[in-house]
């Protein structure tokens, strides 16, 4: 009897533990701004970057204490080593601060991208549900027509195949939505099974650039990666200007080549960044040109559905035609949302291309 009682107690404990661990999905509401703030708060990469800044500062201070004076012109290696160490440590410290800013910008882009991905995945599920409903209606209609000899077996098989494909697409869309939720939840500190409620859709505001060339050049000046490339040129020139002719570690020509390489590298990085920005601009404006026709397509689909429903009420249209019109409207709305969400991200990327590059890599 005692053994039975212990088994019952143990079993109850296991059951209680499993119930305790079971968790109902939470449904907190999120605006875009709240998603960004929570992502910044929960980012391990940002915390790590903050530690990098503190560490780089300590190393810089340590190198500064080792330097007794700044050499001007050629100097021996004993003097140059602490000078170069401080120079490099100072660059590393400044770059760590810029890397922290880049990381914050990258998290912002990731948060907006993940937020938009859920919106797009939700719209895709709705589109697939409407397509499935239409395919089911078409399958029923095809079966009826086949029974009375209005269509052949090949047409019936085609309707059945379309139905099977619609079911598969809906299942795939639901899995994509689950994946979008999981990625978003990880960014903002929620459990994987939580299903946050997104309360807004990105605004569609056209990009305003009065002078593209001037804007690009200003943005290049703000680019921390280009700043680092420029600093490497200055460091190479400093090492050349303080070359120790009395006890050289490397040939003077090698130091000259280091300067040339740094200049070429900096110039190429600037050219690539300039081309990337221009390409982003044309991609964004291309989306803006697609927006008006896409919204007009939604209006036409809504009007078509309204007419079909009226016809259905008076017996001039079938439920299959109504389902088909509903499916067309869902597809049109999804296309508009895709344009809006993509435009939202690329517009932000155009203002902070260095952060966008880090998320895309």
Residue 255's pLDDT is 87
Quick one: angle between helices 32-42 and 153-188, nearest 10? 60
Residue 86's pLDDT is 85
pLDDT beyond 60 at 227: yes
Domain assignment present for residue 354? The answer is: yes
Domain assignment present for residue 24? The answer is: no
Q: Is 228 exposed, middle or buried (0-12, 13-18, 19+ CB in 10 A)?
A: middle
Domain assignment present for residue 321? The answer is: yes
Domain assignment present for residue 20? The answer is: no
Domain assignment present for residue 119? The answer is: yes
For tokens 């795939």, the residue is 172
68 phi and psi angles, rounded to 5 deg: -90, -40
Domain assignment present for residue 16? The answer is: no
> 75 pLDDT band (50/70/90 cuts)?
low
For the chain, what is the largest distance between any 2 Cα atoms, rounded to a whole number of angstroms? Answer: 103
Strand partners for 13 = none
Which residues constitute the domain of residue 356?
Answer: 29-360
Q: What is the pLDDT of residues 11-43, one digit of tens each?
A: 544 444 444 445 688 999 999 999 999 999 999
Domain assignment present for residue 348? The answer is: yes
Interatomic CA distance for residues 72 and 63, integer angstroms = 18
pLDDT beyond 60 at 66: yes
pLDDT beyond 90 at 89: no
Q: How many CB atoms lie within 10 A of CB 34?
A: 18
Structure tokens at 54: 């503190």
Q: Please list the alpha-helical segments (H only) found in 189-251.
A: 212-222, 224-241
Average pLDDT over residues 215-233: 91
Q: What is the pLDDT of residues 138-164, one digit of tens each?
A: 999 999 999 999 999 999 999 999 999
Please check whether residue 309 is in contact with residue 322, taking contact to mean a CB–CB distance below 8 angstroms: yes
Q: Is 160 exposed, middle or buried (0-12, 13-18, 19+ CB in 10 A)?
A: middle
Interatomic CA distance for residues 162 and 232, integer angstroms = 60
Q: What is the pLDDT of residues 306-359, one digit of tens each?
A: 999 999 999 999 999 999 999 999 999 999 999 999 999 999 999 999 888 766
Interatomic CA distance for residues 180 and 170, integer angstroms = 15
Strand partners for 30 = 198
Q: Is 299 helix (H, G, I), strand (E, B) or coil?
A: helix
Please check whether residue 330 is in contact with residue 124, taking contact to mean a CB–CB distance below 8 angstroms: no
> 250 pLDDT band (50/70/90 cuts)?
confident
For tokens 């993940």, the residue is 114
For tokens 């300067």, the residue is 259
Alpha carbon distances (Å) from 187 to 175, 202, 253: 19, 19, 50
Count how many domains the chain has: 1
Task: Kindly state the DSSP code that residue 315 receives in the 8-state scheme.
Answer: T
Structure tokens at 345: 């991200």
Please check whether residue 116 is in contact with residue 344, taking contact to mean a CB–CB distance below 8 angstroms: yes
Average pLDDT over residues 170-180: 97
Interatomic CA distance for residues 140 and 295, integer angstroms = 32
CATH number where 332 lies:
1.20.1600.10
Interatomic CA distance for residues 132 and 331, integer angstroms = 12
Interatomic CA distance for residues 244 and 74, integer angstroms = 5
Q: What percent of the chain has pLDDT over 70?
A: 89
pLDDT beyond 70 at 71: no
Name the residue among 116, 118, 109, 115 with its Cα closest to residue 40. 109
Average pLDDT over residues 64-77: 66
> 245 pLDDT band (50/70/90 cuts)?
confident
Structure tokens at 8: 């019952």
Strand partners for 198 = 30
Q: Looking at 83-87, 231-235, 275-279, which range is the least confident one?
A: 83-87
Q: What is the pLDDT of residues 254-277, one digit of tens each?
A: 989 999 999 999 999 999 999 999
Domain assignment present for residue 68? The answer is: yes
Q: What percent of the chain has pLDDT over 90?
A: 72
């Amino acid at each position: 009897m005692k053994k039975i009682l212990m088994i019952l107690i143990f079993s109850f404990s296991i059951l209680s533990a499993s119930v305790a661990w079971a968790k109902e999905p939470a449904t907190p509401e999120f605006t875009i701004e709240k998603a960004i703030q929570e992502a910044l708060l929960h980012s391990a990469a940002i915390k790590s970057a903050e530690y990098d800044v503190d560490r780089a500062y300590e190393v810089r201070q340590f190198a500064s204490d080792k330097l007794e004076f700044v050499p001007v012109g050629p100097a021996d290696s004993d003097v140059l080593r602490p000078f170069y160490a401080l120079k490099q440590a100072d660059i590393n410290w400044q770059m760590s601060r810029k890397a922290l800013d880049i990381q914050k910008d990258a998290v912002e882009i990731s948060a907006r991208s993940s937020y938009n991905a859920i919106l797009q995945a939700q719209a895709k599920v709705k589109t697939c549900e409407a397509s499935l409903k239409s395919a089911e209606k078409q399958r029923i209609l095809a079966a009826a027509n086949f029974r009375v000899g209005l269509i052949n077996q090949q047409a019936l098989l085609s309707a059945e195949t379309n139905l099977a494909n619609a079911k598969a697409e809906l299942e795939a869309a639901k899995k994509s939505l689950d994946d979008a939720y999981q990625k978003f939840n990880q960014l903002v500190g929620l459990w994987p099974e939580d299903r946050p409620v997104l309360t807004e859709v990105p605004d569609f505001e056209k990009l305003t650039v009065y002078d593209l060339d001037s804007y690009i050049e200003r943005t290049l000046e703000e680019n921390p990666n280009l700043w680092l490339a420029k600093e490497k040129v200055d460091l190479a020139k400093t090492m050349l200007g303080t070359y120790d002719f009395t006890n050289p570690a490397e040939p003077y020509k090698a130091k000259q080549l280091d300067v040339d390489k740094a200049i070429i590298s900096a110039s190429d990085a600037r050219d690539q960044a300039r081309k990337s920005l221009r390409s982003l601009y044309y991609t964004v404006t291309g989306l803006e040109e697609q927006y008006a026709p896409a919204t007009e397509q939604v209006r036409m689909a809504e009007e078509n559905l309204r007419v079909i429903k009226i016809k259905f009420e008076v017996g001039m249209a079938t439920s299959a035609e109504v389902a088909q019109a509903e499916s067309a409207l869902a597809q049109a709305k999804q296309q508009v949302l895709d344009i809006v969400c993509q435009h939202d991200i690329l517009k932000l990327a155009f203002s902070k291309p260095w952060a966008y590059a880090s998320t895309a890599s």
